[in-house]
């Protein structure tokens, strides 16, 4: 079973190399990418079952014992997020294949897209599974390399500006990350997470607080936490629809996962954290208010993405089992829902020829299936029952009420207000884009810009894959009971720290 832990990283890297060799043979690239992601999803499911039934599944690469060797670890949290992430990546990949075939013909191939998409999936997998800080840095660099190629494909002036912003911020974050790893190693003599969880406890309180804050800043840039969020609304809306969807669904959540993993495993339970609660409050409100002010559909969704990162920080800052249970549920819900919204947004802009809310209307009359696909994740993001967003928010709000501190009450109230602001933003989109008389498509002034193609052509794979990602979000609500139970067990493990440390340091492999 331990050998399976390496497959989510190795398979896509090997497949990426084969995909480059395949070159312009479109069918080979597509079959290879879909097959590999399907296999990784099956592996992730097997790892989740194994981790939930016993201890975390551990692989010591090369047989070297920690803390010296490289260790890959699949516990309940890592396996669950890996499974959900790969399923969403598979859905987005099918959308991308359908869009490419629709725009350029079924025999057309983009040589770079499939290899880079597979490399991106390898980076995401490594980020979830790695057991040490340095290889977490490597995982983020792998994701950065692939994401830069993906976000700058078919360049035009706006996309070049956006990609430069994205790269400069990412490289700055990487420099801070590497500095943080150096500080941690200088203070403790190790970068293995399980080993660090014991050694950091022996540090002076000031050093512990400084390292904890530095990690929040480093990973907060990756997660687009306010006030470190400025790069995201300028970068994501300009990318092609599938790239924006997978970035919005996964990359910020990998940053959130890194915050959760390091704060719980390395620093342990220390009561509610007022600083992180304040950051969560700002992230929720600034993101929601920024979304209301937008006229561009994709920029509005990008600000809402920032806003709802605040919910995840809220649950983490409580440092209770209930709070972390809500965080895990919310991350799972948000991966599927946010990716679905950006995919459907891509369908809307294809039919209207614009992302401007002022210039589109009547989509519900001309394309009712697209309207239905938008309504379900939009209502879920706003937290309306019985959808997945409602389930996750109820758990978080209950956790905030149970902590019963003044700051927790304030952030709980802000979470409720943010839900209403999200609902208002989504209602505004519905009234502008979907109601009313259908408007003629805006002329396509830039054929190289995939965001505003304006062709009105939507292939069946595109519609089916967007629907599949929407269904994945609905499945989170349908499976709320088992998922809540699993999330609670994962949250208990995060606060206990014992099972993780024992599995890694004592050689248990599940």
Q: Of 159-163, 191-195, 345-349, 363-367, give the lowest mean pLDDT range.
A: 159-163
Of the two residues 443 and 351, the one the predictor is more confident about is: 351
Q: Of 327-331, 398-402, 439-443, 470-474, give the lowest mean pLDDT range.
A: 439-443
Instruction: Kindly state the percentage of the chain with pLDDT values over 90.
Output: 54
What angle separates helix 297-318 from helix 274-292, to the nearest 10 degrees? 160
pLDDT tens digits, one per residue of 116-131: 999 999 999 999 999 8
- Give pLDDT, residue 455: 46
- Give pLDDT, residue 426: 93
- Give pLDDT, residue 150: 85
* Structure confidence at residue 104 as a pLDDT band (50, 70, 90): low
* Structure confidence at residue 169 as a pLDDT band (50, 70, 90): confident
CA distance 243 to 471: 20
- Give pLDDT, residue 134: 93
Measured at the CA of 218, the angle between CA 217 and CA 219, to 5 degrees, comes to 95
pTM higher than 0.85: yes
Measured at the CA of 339, the angle between CA 24 and CA 461, to 5 degrees, comes to 50
Instruction: Write the DSSP string, 369-409.
Output: HHHHHHHHHHHHHHT-TTSHHHHHHHHHHHHHHHH--HHHH
Whether pLDDT at 318 is above 70: yes
Sign of torsion over alpha carbons 327, 79, 508, 137 = negative
CA distance 242 to 301: 14
User: E strand or H helix at 300, and its extent?
Assistant: helix 297-318
Instruction: Kindly state the percentage of the chain with pLDDT values over 70.
Output: 91
How many other C-beta atoms are found inside a 10 Å radius of the C-beta of residue 375? 16
pLDDT tens digits, one per residue of 406-458: 999 999 999 999 999 999 999 999 998 888 777 666 665 555 544 444 444 56
- Give pLDDT, residue 474: 92
Q: Of 8-12, 105-109, 110-114, give the lowest mean pLDDT range.
A: 105-109
Question: Which residues neighbour 169 within 8 Å (Cβ) at sequence distance 6 or greater?
Answer: 221, 231
- Give pLDDT, residue 442: 64
- Give pLDDT, residue 20: 87
Whether pLDDT at 509 is above 50: no
- Give pLDDT, residue 82: 96
Mean pLDDT over each residue of the chain, to the nearest integer: 87
* Structure confidence at residue 156 as a pLDDT band (50, 70, 90): low
pLDDT tens digits, one per residue of 368-406: 899 999 999 999 999 998 899 899 999 999 999 998 889
pLDDT tens digits, one per residue of 257-310: 999 999 999 987 666 688 899 999 999 999 999 999 998 899 999 999 999 999
Average confidence (pLDDT) over 191-210: 88
Whether pLDDT at 101 is above 80: no
Instruction: Write the DSSP string, 461-506.
Output: HHHHHHHHHHHHHHHHHHTHHHHHHHHHHHHHHHHH-HHHHHHHHS
């Amino acid at each position: 079973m331990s050998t399976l832990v390496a497959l989510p990283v190795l398979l896509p890297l090997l497949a990426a190399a084969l995909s480059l060799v395949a070159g312009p043979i479109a069918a080979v690239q597509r079959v290879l990418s879909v097959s590999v992601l399907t296999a990784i999803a099956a592996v992730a499911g097997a790892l989740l079952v194994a981790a939930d039934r016993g201890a975390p599944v551990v692989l010591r690469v090369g047989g070297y014992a920690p803390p010296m060797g490289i260790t890959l670890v699949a516990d309940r949290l890592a396996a669950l997020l890996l499974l959900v992430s790969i399923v969403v990546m598979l859905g987005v990949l099918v959308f991308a294949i359908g869009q490419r075939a629709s725009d350029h013909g079924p025999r057309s191939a983009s040589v770079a897209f499939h290899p880079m998409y597979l490399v991106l999936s390898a980076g995401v997998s490594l980020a979830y599974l790695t057991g040490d800080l340095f290889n977490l840095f490597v995982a983020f660099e792998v994701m950065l390399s692939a994401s830069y190629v993906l976000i700058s494909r078919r360049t035009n002036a706006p996309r070049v500006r956006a990609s430069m912003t994205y790269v400069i911020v990412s490289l700055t974050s990487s420099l801070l990350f590497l500095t943080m790893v150096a500080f941690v190693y200088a203070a403790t003599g190790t970068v293995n997470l399980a080993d660090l969880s014991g050694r950091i406890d022996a540090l002076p309180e000031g050093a512990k607080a400084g390292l904890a804050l530095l990690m929040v800043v480093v990973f907060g840039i990756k997660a687009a936490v306010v006030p470190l969020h400025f790069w995201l609304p300028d970068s994501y809306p300009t990318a092609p629809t599938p790239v924006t969807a997978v970035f919005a669904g996964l990359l910020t959540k990998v940053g959130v996962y890194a915050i959760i993993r390091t704060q719980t495993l390395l620093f342990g339970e220390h009561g509610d954290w007022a600083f992180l609660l304040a950051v969560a409050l700002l992230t929720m409100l600034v993101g929601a208010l920024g979304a209301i002010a937008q006229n561009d559909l994709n920029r509005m969704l990008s600000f809402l993405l920032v806003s709802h990162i605040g919910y995840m920080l809220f649950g983490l800052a409580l440092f209770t089992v209930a709070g972390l249970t809500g965080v895990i549920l919310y991350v799972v819900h948000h991966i599927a829902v946010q990716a679905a919204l950006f995919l459907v947004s891509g369908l809307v802009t294809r039919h209207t020829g614009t992302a401007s809310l002022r210039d589109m209307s009547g989509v519900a009359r001309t394309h009712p299936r697209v309207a239905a696909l938008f309504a379900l994740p939009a209502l879920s993001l706003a937290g309306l029952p019985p959808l997945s967003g409602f389930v996750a928010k109820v758990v978080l709000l209950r956790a905030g009420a149970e902590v019963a501190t003044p700051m927790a009450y304030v952030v709980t109230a802000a979470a409720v207000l943010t839900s209403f602001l999200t609902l208002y933003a989504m209602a505004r989109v519905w009234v502008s884009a979907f109601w009313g008389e259908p408007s003629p498509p805006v002329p396509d002034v830039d054929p190289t810009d995939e965001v505003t193609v304006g062709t009105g052509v939507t292939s069946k794979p595109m519609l089916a894959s967007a629907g599949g990602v929407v269904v994945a979000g609905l499945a989170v609500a349908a499976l709320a009971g088992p998922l809540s139970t699993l999330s609670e067990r994962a949250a208990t493990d995060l606060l206990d720290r014992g099972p993780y440390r024992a599995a890694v340091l004592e050689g248990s492999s599940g």
